[in-house]
Amino acid sequence: MEITDLNSKNMIQKRVDSGQVTWKWPLVIVFARLSFALIVQSLIALLFFRSAPSPYLAAGKWWPVYGILIDLGCFLLVSWQAGKEGLRLRDLVNFHSHHLGRDILRGLLYILWVFPVAMIGILGFSMLLYGTPQAPSVYSPLPVWAAIYGLVVFPILWALMEQCTYQGYALPRLEGALKRTGLAVFIVAFGWGIQHIALPLTSDMRFMLYRFLSFLPLAVLMALVYLRTRRLIPFIVAHWAVNMLGILSGVIVPMLMK
Output the tens digit of pLDDT for each of the chain's 258 residues.
345 688 999 999 999 999 999 999 999 999 999 999 999 999 999 999 888 889 999 999 999 999 999 999 999 999 999 999 999 999 999 888 788 999 999 999 999 999 999 999 999 999 999 999 999 999 999 999 999 999 999 999 999 999 999 999 999 999 999 999 999 999 999 999 999 999 999 999 999 999 999 999 999 999 999 999 999 999 999 999 999 999 999 999 998 887
Provide the pLDDT for residue 217: 97
Query: 10 Å Cβ neighbour count for 210?
Result: 23
Cβ neighbours for 200, distance < 8 A, ≥ 6 positions apart = 41, 57, 59, 60, 61, 63, 138
Contact indicator for 222, 236 with CB cutoff of 8 Å: no
pLDDT digits (tens, 9 = 90+) for 134-169: 999 999 999 999 999 999 999 999 999 999 999 999
Nearest 5°: CA angle at 35, between 34 and 39?
Answer: 120
Provide the pLDDT for residue 77: 98
Distance (Å, whole) CA 55 – CA 57:
6
Provide the pLDDT for residue 96: 81
3: exposed, middle or buried (C-beta count within 10 Å: 0-12, 13-18, 19+)? Answer: exposed
Provide the pLDDT for residue 3: 52
What is 123-183 written as a DSSP string?
Answer: HHHHHHHHSSS-PPPS-----HHHHHHHHHTHHHHHHHHHIIIIIIIIHHHHHHHH--HHH
DSSP state, residue 54: S
Distance (Å, whole) CA 89 – CA 95:
9
Provide the pLDDT for residue 60: 95
Nearest 5°: CA angle at 240, between 236 and 241?
Answer: 125
How far the first Cα of the chain sits from its last, in Å, is 57
Provide the pLDDT for residue 99: 84
Nearest 5°: CA angle at 84, between 100 and 6?
Answer: 35
Provide the pLDDT for residue 2: 43
Contact indicator for 6, 90 with CB cutoff of 8 Å: no
Provide the pLDDT for residue 197: 97
DSSP element (H, E) containing 16:
helix 9-17
Distance (Å, whole) CA 131 – CA 142:
28
Contact indicator for 194, 35 with CB cutoff of 8 Å: no
Provide the pLDDT for residue 52: 84
